[in-house]
């Protein structure tokens, strides 16, 4: 690697700028021994590189992106938000426009059975602004069940509930019908809504995200995509202290 220099950047930041993943995920990739610099595997977090270094992930050379993409998708249910799947389930990334040659990844995820709004990008810094809890960007969901949703669930989710030592709380929840609700989250822990509903012996038949910050589905058909507008990108960057 290059000699110490103020222009050098940390390896996980370099990888994020190369569209590999968010900074947090890039740290995990480094720790897993999947990154090499000039032929040497690097696992030390905080290592720095410069533009002259030859950086590879899983043996494939990566360089900082020159063109960023910000794509909105209406993910259908039973598609996986992952780069690969050993079970060969359908991948949401395969629904992205074929004309995009850069590697995109989802900024946040929807689980296999859930549907709705998800944003794909190769801008790691932008992804952080969407997903980090400190940025406070709201995510709004519609949840439908086959049974009446008790008031106890609404109250517990809004006030906060601890399930298996994990604390869950939404910032807003309101009934649409007896069997459907609208929920707004900020942090959005892994499978949060499903785990809260399961605690009350309910299992969503529909779990659809309809909003991320200022971005709405706006009639986007399942399986289809569109680009974020410059105004939406700027709004999300500003809200996320990008």
Whether 111 sits among the annotated catalytic residues: the reply is yes
Query: Per the residue annotation, which of 94, 111, 123, 218 is the catalytic one?
Result: 111
From its phi and psi, is residue 80 left (phi > 0), alpha (psi between -120 and 50) or beta?
A: beta
> How far apart are alpha carbons 210 and 184 in whole angstroms?
10
Q: Could you identify the residue written with the tokens 């399942």?
A: 222
> How far apart are alpha carbons 213 and 239 in whole angstroms?
9
Percent helix, percent strand, percent coil in the chain, to nearest 5: 25, 30, 50
From its phi and psi, is residue 77 left (phi > 0), alpha (psi between -120 and 50) or beta?
A: beta
What are the backbone angles phi and psi of residue 173, rounded to the nearest 5°? -150, 130
> How far apart are alpha carbons 192 and 183 in whole angstroms?
11
> How far apart are alpha carbons 103 and 18 in whole angstroms?
9
Instruction: Say if residues 8 and 50 touch (Cβ distance below 8 Å).
Output: yes
> What residues are annotated to the active site?
111
């Amino acid at each position: 690697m290059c000699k110490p220099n103020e222009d050098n950047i940390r390896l996980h930041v370099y990888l994020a700028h190369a569209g590999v993943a968010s900074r947090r995920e890039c740290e995990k990739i480094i720790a897993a021994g999947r990154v090499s610099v000039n032929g040497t595997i690097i696992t030390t977090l905080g290592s720095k590189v410069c533009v002259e270094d030859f950086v590879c992930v899983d043996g494939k050379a990566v360089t900082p992106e020159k063109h960023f993409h910000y794509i909105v998708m209406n993910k259908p249910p039973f598609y996986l938000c992952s780069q690969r799947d050993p079970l060969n389930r359908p991948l949401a990334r395969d629904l992205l426009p074929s004309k995009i040659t850069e590697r995109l990844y989802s900024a946040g995820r929807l689980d296999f059975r859930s549907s709705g709004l998800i944003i794909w990008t190769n801008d790691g810094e932008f992804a952080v602004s969407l997903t980090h809890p400190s940025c406070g960007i709201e995510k709004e969901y519609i949840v439908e069940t086959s049974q009446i949703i008790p008031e106890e669930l609404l109250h517990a989710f809004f006030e906060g509930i601890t399930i298996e030592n994990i604390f869950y709380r939404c910032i807003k929840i309101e009934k649409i019908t007896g069997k459907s609700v609208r929920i707004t989250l900020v942090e959005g822990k892994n499978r949060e809504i499903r785990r809260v509903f399961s605690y009350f012996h309910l299992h969503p038949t529909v779990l659809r995200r309809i909003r991320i910050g200022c971005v709405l589905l706006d009639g986007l058909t399942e399986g289809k995509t569109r680009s974020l507008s410059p105004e939406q990108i700027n709004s999300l960057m500003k809200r996320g202290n990008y």
